[in-house]
Chains A and B, each alone.
Chain A
Amino acid sequence: MAPRFTGVDFYGVEGLLGEDERAVRDTVRDWVEEQLLPVINESYLEGRFPKQLVPQMAELGFFGANLPEEYGCAGLNNVAYGLIMQELERGDSGVRSFASVQGALVMYPIYAFGSEEQKQHYLPQLASGELIGCFGLTEPDFGSNPAGMITTARETKDGWVLNGAKMWITNGSTADVAIIWAKTGDSKDPSSIRGFIVPTKSKGFTAKDQKGKLSLRASDTSELVLENVQVPRDALLPKSDGIKSPLMCLTQARYGIAWGGVGAAMACYHEALSYARQRVMFGKPIASYQIQQERLADMLTGITQGQLLVLQLGRLKDAGTMTPQQVSLAKRSNVNLACECAREARRLLGANGILIEYSAMRHMANMESVYTYEGTHDMHTLILGEAITGIAAYS
């Protein structure tokens, strides 16, 4: 067993954080250590989201923590919000994904594009965990190219009728409400995309668990089918306007994921270091061998780079100058970092590394999903390519 996690801080990053930011981080860190880690392995093996933890997470204020207090949220800055994501992902990417979806992909669009009535009705209930939400953008044939979606919303005299299918939806089977993105105009017109708040108990709405996942097993991933789902007029998010609206939500979520990558990497480094010190081979701890030292040196270097990267990104976000391209760089870099750290930690642990009692292989499998979701690693490469050269490779 590794000793209690006390953070990874080679560059005095602690000193760059404010007292309240550290206090938030410590609350989440302690909660992960004491409440999440003791149950995560069982959840992961059973392929079940640990839903019993939702009330505690809500009580402590983990959902939509960077949204204002007037809607029942904690009103934190974006660095403190990022630290929540870092610590949750130190526990498990599936649990961090739950919080990301609830906060950045459900609460944020209601906050950004909703009417005052919608905000007052939904946000406090989502913050308190009374309602669980999911975000329906990706479709079976439209992942990296969401603008091509074929889900439609047609206006009737009473409201709207939605038809279509959504795929890879985190929290899909658990959710009470879904934010569904659909085209209200021509099928070729991404500017007609609008967001809708759809109760999942609506007639014609079905969610089916996606079985057989070898990654994010402690997270609920579903396929949603909408067959003539009727919603009232006020289900529409009035300020949603075209494909850029869901993309704004993704920027929020990706921002948190960039922090999460650091958390998963820290978990793997911490475990690898502890194991290397204890495991004796050829009469001395494996930490004394150069190959393992190189692994640890690479991990620490990556973590240090990653944590400085997201801290500055957070400061930019708080200053209101952060760009989506900067978020792409951080998501791409830090998730890749976490993939590398998890794999190297798994290898350092030798045969023990394949067991669930060590976290490296769980993180390693999780990070493969995180590498692919919320804008694949490759798509972020192309977004950066466009930012650098001015030439979009994907259009």
Chain B
Amino acid sequence: MKIAVCVKRVPDTETRIKIGGGGGSGTGIDEAGVKFILNPYDEFAVEEALQRKDKAGTGEIVVITVGGDAAQETIRTALAMGADRGVLLKADAIPADGLAVAKALAAELKAGGYDLILCGKLAVDDANHQVGVMVAELLGLPCVSSAAKIEWGEGTAVAEREVEGGIEVVAFALPAVVTCEKGLNTPRYPALKGIMAAKKKPIEVKPAQLGPARVAVRSLTLPPERKEGRIVGEGPAAVAELVKLLQTEAKVL
């Protein structure tokens, strides 16, 4: 079983973001002092690959990312969890156009002979939900997005997807692309021995064959600060005023 896991280096979700980037253009974030992590949804993808391999007792897990040199650290996190080797498709900047990235990944994956390609359902930095499904399309493979549970068979699988108000069960044949949702599994911590072993695992670096970027970020702003609350009065006497304001000002009733 040969499994590819596509991952992305993203800012830690606890980071306090400052707008900057692009030479002060305000279309990116200021990376100074920002801690970067393996995209949390990609952790589910890595874990699922590891569990598949553990169960099969054999196989190879290849971690692939598009990014700068710093993304090697992200690959090594996945290698420390137990993946076998990495591929960095080097690009100075990651295009905002998901298709451009998907094309670079598809070009790498095409000849790889993978039985399964796993991705996170989205990257927490841009929340586009695009790359995984586009990779499937470009490779002409079946795609299951946002899989929250998977029963693996011989060359086939059945996945559960959490859809609005219910669960959809889908069957598909391998090879396929699956994008992983929270709840699929519990990602393991990179064990200390795994961290040391990861230093010796190979990471291949080659230029990313990005597609043309047809979407560009024009501006990036933080959400507006929450307005200060207002106390309209105290006791039962204030209820009428509160209801009125909820209707006329907040428009929630």
Partner-B contacts on A (CB < 8 A): 3-4, 6, 14, 19-20, 23-24, 26-27, 30-31, 59-62, 65, 69, 74-76, 80, 84
Contacts of B12 in A (CB 8 A): 6
Residue of B nearest to A63 (CB): B192
User: When chains A and B are docked, how far (Å) is the Cα of A20 from the Cα of B198?
Assistant: 9
User: When chains A and B are docked, how far (Å) is the Cα of A27 from the Cα of B192?
Assistant: 8
Tell me whether B14 is interfacial, beta carbon within 8 Å: yes
Most buried by B among A4, A20, A23, A75: A23
Tell me whether B152 is interfacial, beta carbon within 8 Å: no
- A61 and B14 in contact, given A6-B35, A19-B76, A20-B196 (Cβ under 8 angstroms): no
State whether B195 touches A30 (Cβ < 8 A).
no
Contact of A75 among B190, B196, B198 (CB under 8 A): B196
Can you sample 9 A-B contacts with CB below 8 Å? Answer: A6-B15, A23-B77, A24-B192, A27-B189, A27-B190, A31-B189, A60-B191, A69-B196, A74-B192
- A23 and B195 in contact, given A30-B189, A31-B189, A60-B189 (Cβ under 8 angstroms): yes
Contacts of B191 in A (CB 8 A): 27, 59-61, 74
Interface positions of B from 175 to 207, Cβ below 8 Å from A: 189-193, 195-196, 198-199
Contacts of B14 in A (CB 8 A): 3-4, 6
Partner-A contacts on B (CB < 8 A): 12, 14-15, 35, 73, 76-77, 80, 189-193, 195-196, 198-199
- A61 and B192 in contact, given A3-B14, A6-B35 (Cβ under 8 angstroms): yes
Which applies to chain A's interface (DSSP): helix, strand, loop or mixed?
A: helix
State whether B193 touches A27 (Cβ < 8 A).
no
Given contacts A6-B15, A24-B195, A31-B189, 9 further A-B contacts (CB under 8 A): A4-B14, A14-B35, A20-B199, A27-B190, A27-B191, A60-B192, A61-B191, A61-B192, A74-B191
User: When chains A and B are docked, how far (Å) is the Cα of A59 from the Cα of B193?
Assistant: 9
User: When chains A and B are docked, how far (Å) is the Cα of A23 from the Cα of B190?
Assistant: 8
Contacts of A24 in B (CB 8 A): 192, 195
Contacts of A30 in B (CB 8 A): 189
Most buried by A among B12, B14, B77, B193: B193
